[in-house]
Amino acid sequence: MGELYIDGEWTQAAAGGRRDVVNPYDASLVTTVDEADATDVDRAVRAARRAFAEEDWADLPTRRRADLLLRVHDLLLRDREDIARTETLDTGKTLAEARIDVEDVANAFRYYAELAGKDGGRVVDVAPDVLSRVVYQPVGVCALIAPWNYPLLQASWKVAPALAAGNTFVLKPSETTPLTTIMMIRLIEEAGAPPGVANLVLGSGATVGAALTRHPDVDLVSFTGGLNTGRAIMAAAAAEGPRNIALELGGKNPNIVFADADFDAAVDYALDAAFLHSGQVCSAGSRLLVEDSLHDRFVEAYAERARAIRLGNGMEDGIESGPLSSAEHREKVEGYIALGKKEGARLVTGGTRPDDPALSRGFFLLPTIFADCDRSMRIVQEEVFGPVVTVERFRTEDEAVELANDTRYGLAGGVWTSEASRAQRVAQRLRHGTVWINDFHPYVPQAEWGGFGRSGVGRELGPTGLREYQEAKHIYQNLAPAPSGWFKG
């Protein structure tokens, strides 16, 4: 029995490929899993196509699909500790974070179970002798590609609405973090999904991901990952399609602190914003904008708190942050740290690997703060995706907004102030998909998540997150048919 799940069977990769899964805390081997190739992808897409056409899944009363999602929700909670521990082994994140992730995953299933069937479409007012309505139907076969920072959470934001809408799917988790996704698919199987509705392939982006996004029988690709991969997926969707796409491509998210903000809360949340999960968060507040009059005091307190962050094994109590996800990713982040120095940013703290010998085998980096940054620097404009924050100064509200919007991304941003009307003004003007006022990071399944600009296309979560997996159909009925008489002959 292998770890690919195709047409209701657990199966091995046809060519026998295997891949090591490594714990980023100490580079130890966690396990090995099947490594698929294009042949397996083809099998999985065919299974999804067959199920979409032949199983009664898409035509089930919505309530029945919603019941399945609720069963998955319950099973996730039944197994939450196991899943959370596996997520920690796979990603290095703390167990406390992984537990929250699993709750959030379960909540996504419950939310879409509750939303499904609430919207029967709409009746369009045309004329008394016409019945015109718009209904929403599943798109078909969905290719779902997830990243490694929130492996199960990001997958669930795709899987739950795709199932609720009546689609079938082929899911590919990141090759570095496949383990909890395998667990989730087992739960979907246990919950009673018909064969071929949910399919799982494992393997590299270049081989398996590319084969999936190029497959002619895929109707929709939903992807969360990096900008360059997003571009490649968009190009493939054009070449093989056009077909529907949804892309969540990260961000360079401003966190604006006005001088009248609650100081302790703003410092505290600026840590969460930038250093949670070692900054490997698409919405990380890695671009801190501080009002000039507060700047020096703020940066000093911020650096002191950053130095106190306890790095270590996410499995242990009291550890506040784990390692980066892989050796390659750490090298990339280190490259950005070198670049920041070269560009003239002032290193306030961090910038190196920790010298604690207990952490030497893992992919750790110290929380890093650069001050005296300006918007022309690449370190300010590009997504580093590590524990690295840049600090800029601003003097006026207009300048804060202008800086915060000076990014090609537009995923999320925060604003800290005790003046309520200013908070609303700034939130209104920010060109970002989520804006937090006096907070950072919370998201809820009821509210849309996604980006302006190059942060992506489409939205996950909320009602729009379901619409991504639906086609609108207009059904127009003439209630009094008679010859139109347009052609006279």
* Subset of residues 359 to 398 that bind ligand TXE, contact rule: CB under 6 A: 383, 385
Cβ neighbours, 10 Å, residue 94: 25
Least spacing, CB of residue 111 vs ligand TXE, in Å? 20
Q: Which of 37, 87, 175, 392 binds ligand TXE (CB under 6 A)?
A: 175
Q: Which of 38, 68, 145, 165 binds ligand TXE (CB under 6 A)?
A: 145
Cα 72 to Cα 60: distance, rounded to the nearest angstrom: 17
Residue (of 461, 107, 420) closest to 283 by Cα position:
461
Cα 161 to Cα 461: distance, rounded to the nearest angstrom: 8
Q: Using CA of residue 85, residue 87, residue 91, residue 94, what is the dihedral sign?
A: negative
* Subset of residues 342 to 361 that bind ligand TXE, contact rule: CB under 6 A: none
Least spacing, CB of residue 450 vs ligand TXE, in Å? 10
Is the CB of residue 386 less than 8 Å from the CB of residue 333? Answer: yes
Bridge-based pairing state of the strands 244-248 and 456-457: antiparallel
Cα 452 to Cα 431: distance, rounded to the nearest angstrom: 6
Of all residues in the chain, what percent are helix, strand and coil, respectively (each to 5)? 40, 20, 40
Does the protein bind ligand TXE through residue 156 (CB under 6 A)? no
Peptide bond into 128 cis (omega under 30): no
Tokens representing 407 are: 């990014």
Tokens representing 345 are: 């940013």
Does the protein bind ligand TXE through residue 147 (CB under 6 A)? yes
Does the protein bind ligand TXE through residue 149 (CB under 6 A)? yes
Residue number with the shortest CB distance to ligand TXE?
Answer: 205
Does the protein bind ligand TXE through residue 458 (CB under 6 A)? no
* Subset of residues 201 to 230 that bind ligand TXE, contact rule: CB under 6 A: 204-206, 209-210, 213, 224-226, 229
Angle between helices 95-115 and 80-91 (to 10 degrees): 120
* Subset of residues 14 to 53 that bind ligand TXE, contact rule: CB under 6 A: none
Does the protein bind ligand TXE through residue 255 (CB under 6 A)? no
Is the CB of residue 436 less than 8 Å from the CB of residue 412? Answer: yes
Does the protein bind ligand TXE through residue 177 (CB under 6 A)? no
Cα 107 to Cα 89: distance, rounded to the nearest angstrom: 23
Cα 348 to Cα 290: distance, rounded to the nearest angstrom: 15
Q: Which stretch binds ligand TXE (CB under 6 A): 56-64, 163-171, 244-252, 348-356?
A: 244-252
Cβ-count burial of 91 within 10 angstroms (0-12 exposed, 13-18 middle, 19+ buried)?
Answer: buried
Q: Which of 3, 35, 248, 397 binds ligand TXE (CB under 6 A)?
A: 248
Least spacing, CB of residue 98 vs ligand TXE, in Å? 16
Residue written as token pair 């009094």:
480
Least spacing, CB of residue 269 vs ligand TXE, in Å? 20
Least spacing, CB of residue 99 vs ligand TXE, in Å? 20
Least spacing, CB of residue 204 vs ligand TXE, in Å? 6
Does the protein bind ligand TXE through residue 241 (CB under 6 A)? no
Q: Which stretch binds ligand TXE (CB under 6 A): 167-175, 188-196, 290-298, 414-422?
A: 167-175
**Run of H or E including 476:** strand 470-478
Which residue in 175, 189, 248, 291 is the catalytic one?
248
Tokens representing 242 are: 């056009």
Cβ proximity to ligand TXE, 257 vs 411, nearer residue: 411
Q: Which of 17, 178, 250, 279 binds ligand TXE (CB under 6 A)?
A: 250
Q: What is the total count of residues that contact ligand TXE (CB under 6 A)?
A: 26
Active site residue 54: no
Q: Binding residues for ligand TXE, per CB under 6 A?
A: 145-147, 149, 172, 174-175, 204-206, 209-210, 213, 224-226, 229, 232-233, 248-250, 282, 332, 383, 385
Catalytic amino acids? 248
